[in-house]
Chains A and B, each alone.
Chain A
């Protein structure tokens, strides 16, 4: 294969490129479908294979079905508290107040929500939810399609994109961003996985909707495809990442397999027990119990295990008890969970508890953006990167801060996917756009791919990936410590050398997954390094970031976002927004459940 350059690859020109065909990407493309702008969704898998499909419990939103008095301001309060006060309150306000419109739109598109007796959308209780700003007890605010809400949402969005005639480049893999001399983003270089054909996909607006990167850890609920490709591309292009130390460990991943068991199980009345059969969350969170924030529940589980009250031969997990709910409730409300636990835990939850353990689940950090999805660089909040947008888990807008509440990710996808689509349509029609990239700019974006294609020796992808995942799992897990993390950072700098010298043995064009996995690994590494450095340098405990050496929250120094600069590997700070437009800001308080 000859060396790729700007003159031997073709150029496909679009107005808008959406990189990623999951929930956020397809909500963006759906918004743009009627705009007349030439849009392409570039997805490395057929869109319904995207990880949104695995979301289970639901989409949290104050649609006032379960409780006619419910109020989006209560949802906002819960989300701000859940974020441990570093979620941006203008963005949270936007998400919670626009949410009902976005959820009703999904229903109109055909999403098969479960229903209440009066025909409205069914809502279930989820963790961290309250009525009346934390004073009115547990709320039930998560709109559900049984325990397959993500599947229903993703298919509904795909179906409506089909209806509107959206243009998909399926099984195309975006390799690197192309930046022009002004450091504006002008598209990506990408290849068709099926044929191996490489192209410069040129656009006036490029939207990163590439989801999370849970595969930086060896134990994760995430799909094998969750390799942080958009964030990896952005970091390689020198674009910063925000709050990368904030990774959510979901309390209930199936022990051994990692598959998610929805928080909806606890919403429907299930609870966690230790080896003595004790409902231990009553000790850690006397009010919310098993429905405290996910960070709180995950830490409590780890403490139970560390103190010798874990279950099983190795006492290294706990049990999720559901059998008391009865077969009828489980079959109607949690059929997918019953199926998963029979398959992956060899346990039927109708009769026996499910072995579970905290498992990496969600990346709260990402490319920093405003509520329109515009990505920005280090400097002021107005220092936008022309041509670059990000939405969904890949972005850090930031509505989740240091800890995401269950059901808020699906809401994030549709609200901010839609918002980015609206903004891009308006901006491009009023003359916004970027200058052309020159040959050198395009060639530069092809460097990494050429190097892999031309590799004749080097490190095996699978073994380097395993090494990376073990470092992250061992040194940057639920509980963190400075001296361990320093070891982890040192181990990563050794791995960096291997990442730069990967060997792609398979040189063929058609469906070369060896090549795909090599680039995915390089993306994972960028995300892992950002995570490690950010975790080491945030010297406090907040939300999902729990340090044994700095056990307390430090509002004086750290009531802020962290902003990782990949060009210097230095961690900066950025202020948190405390200026919502329709309500008074919620000031930081001690966070208890």
Chain B
């Protein structure tokens, strides 16, 4: 048997959250943590968590699994069980709605803040905008983000300043548009990140890199943004666009 400890909290009935232990027969074949939760839910239908694609592409089931953030659907039980025990908690740092479900409002607000859409004022008459394969390659490792929030909610800087520090997930997307040869608002994008909090609160702790279930590297993208902010060329661009804007 293995002991599964699940963080429980129902705002209507519980004054405080608590850990509930379920004894679970060790499955013969390895299963994912999500499948474990699905099986537990057939016994206790009140356990609440988000899930959708069950294959690691929709980003619904980010949670804290034995102390480390990850996606339940692509985390094999065998890789996380320690001493026949498993602790499942909600993503840290965000308000808990119920059980393993967190309120992601602040996380999404940071995403919207970086203007996560292509900006290009030059109209295209016919067909697509051209982009060389080399320029397109620059988006690899950036566009694949699934907004699961595993990175931002593992980041101490985001815990302290979730309203002012943009956080690794949204900064990765900020750089995804800065790096896109089709986007013409690089100067404005950098300008909007140039305050002391938005990007500079990243201290290179690298939790984001170690937890990303897609193997992405927000730290590297943040480094690129910082060096662009610091380079003289872009400083000049920022001043110019300020005057224009």
Contacts and interface: CB of A to CB of B under 8 A. Distances in A.
Task: Answer yes or no: do A and B interact.
Answer: yes
Contacts of B196: none
Nearest to B103: A194
A523 to B, nearest CB: 16
Contacts of A120: 127-128, 130
B236 interface: no
Contact of B12 (A50, A113, A151, A509): A509
A112 B143 contact: yes
A103 B99 CA distance: 41
Interface stretch (B41-49, B152-160, B199-207, B216-224): B41-49
A152 B112 CA distance: 17
Contacts of A109: 117-118
A155 B139 CA distance: 14
B58 interface: yes
A46 B12 contact: no
A115 B131 contact: yes
B55 interface: yes
A521 to B, nearest CB: 12
Contacts of A155: 143
A118 interface: yes
A107 B128 contact: yes
A294 interface: no
Contact of A151 (B52, B57, B136, B139): B57
Contacts of B147: 46, 48
Interface stretch (A157-165, A378-386, A448-456): A157-165
B10 A54 contact: no
B56 interface: yes
B147 to A, nearest CB: 6
A511 B53 contact: no
Interface residues of A, number: 60
A194 B104 CA distance: 11
A343 B50 CA distance: 20
B45 A505 contact: yes
Please classify the interface of chain B as helix (H, G, I), strand (E, B), loop, or mixed, using the class held by over half of its residues: loop
Interface in A101-130: 103-104, 107-110, 112-121
Interface in A459-489: 460-463
Q: By CB atoms of chain A within 10 A, which of B42, B104, B143 has the most?
A: B143
A54 B98 contact: no
Given A46-B104, A223-B52, A511-B98, A163 B12 contact: no
B10 A51 contact: no
Nearest to B60: A49
A343 B56 contact: yes
B54 interface: yes
Contacts of B116: 159, 162
A48 B58 contact: yes
Interface string B25-56: 00000000000000001100110111111111
A45 interface: yes
Q: By CB atoms of chain A within 10 A, which of B41, B52, B130 has the most?
A: B52
A508 B10 contact: yes
A121 B127 CA distance: 10
Contact of A49 (B53, B97, B118, B136): B53
A148 B127 contact: no
A323 to B, nearest CB: 22
Nearest to B54: A224
Contacts of B103: 194
Given A108-B118, A113-B136, 15 more contacts: A49-B60, A51-B58, A54-B53, A104-B124, A112-B143, A119-B131, A120-B127, A120-B128, A145-B143, A162-B116, A343-B55, A344-B55, A506-B45, A509-B12, A513-B41
Interface of B: 10-13, 41-42, 45-46, 48-60, 74, 97-99, 101, 103-104, 108, 112, 115-118, 120, 124, 126-133, 135-136, 139, 143-144, 146-147, 177, 180, 182-183
